[in-house]
Amino acid sequence: MNVPLTAGRKTRRGLFADGLHLDIPLLVGLALLSALGVVVLYSAGGQDMAIVERQLLRLGFGFTVMLACAQIPPSTLTRWTPWLYILGTGFLVAVLVAGETGKGAQRWLDLGLLRFQPSEIMKVAVPLMVAAFLAEKPLPPSRKALGAALLMIAIPALLVARQPDLGTALLVASAGVFVILLAGVSWRLVALVIAFLAATAPLLWYVMRDYQKQRVLTFLNPENDPLGAGYHIIQSK
């Protein structure tokens, strides 16, 4: 049986993508978003090519790291994930004990040759840890498994919130919760959790710091500070 040439080409492209463990639609979407970001940066940066060139270098580095990470076997990630989670959580505790303080927050850890924010590690470690844990359990997960997964999310999220960094804490928690949703949790349970969070959300106002409250107020009404915190929101409209 003769195989059309176009079919052969498609097969070769598919084999190439599979060999590099690439999701072509996802890769194309990332490339389009990155290109759009570069165009916006060029426009907002006063058409300064130096800024664009630096951004392109960063994008190239980021895509290279992504390609390298895609070659790591899932089994290897599963073995490394608990250690990454434990290491990241330990770093978060170290930040609260001996982290650098700046502008009212204690978010940075200085190890001499390296200065970084451990909360960035947890943006990756938390969803990986939850996924590795639930992968070993029957799906949809039981209440016991859900409780353990939520505890894995809550510990680093609360440590990040203590720095304080509410925005990053919400990102870390959201990443872990999203993995739980993908595990096939009942939508009825999801609806109940959303209703509970919506009902208790106003209580957060009383534990938020002044600058966090100001951010919320600026987001809701940027015209109150058109030349300051609300400037970029107004310009984006």
Rounded to 5°, angle at Cα 116 from 62 and 124: 55
pLDDT digits (tens, 9 = 90+) for 70-109: 888 888 888 999 999 999 999 999 888 887 776 667 777 7
| Predicted pLDDT at 151 | 92
Decide if 233 contacts 219 (C-beta within 8 A): yes
How far is the C-alpha of 157 from the C-alpha of 166, rounded, in Å? 9
For 163-191, what is the mean pLDDT? 86
For 1-6, what is the mean pLDDT? 49
DSSP strand E in the chain: where?
100-102, 105-110, 115-116
pLDDT digits (tens, 9 = 90+) for 16-58: 556 667 788 888 899 999 999 888 888 877 777 888 889 999 9
**Torsion of Cα atoms, 86 then 171 then 92 then 162, to 10°:** -140
| Predicted pLDDT at 7 | 47
pLDDT digits (tens, 9 = 90+) for 98-145: 877 766 677 777 777 777 888 889 999 999 999 999 998 888 888 899
Q: N- to C-terminal Cα distance for the chain?
A: 59
Sign of the CA dihedral running 15, 20, 21, 25? negative
Q: Give 63: exposed, middle or buried? Use CB within 10 Å, 0-12, 13-18, 19+.
A: middle
Listing DSSP states for 195-217 in one string gives HHHHHHGGGGGGTS-HHHHHHHH
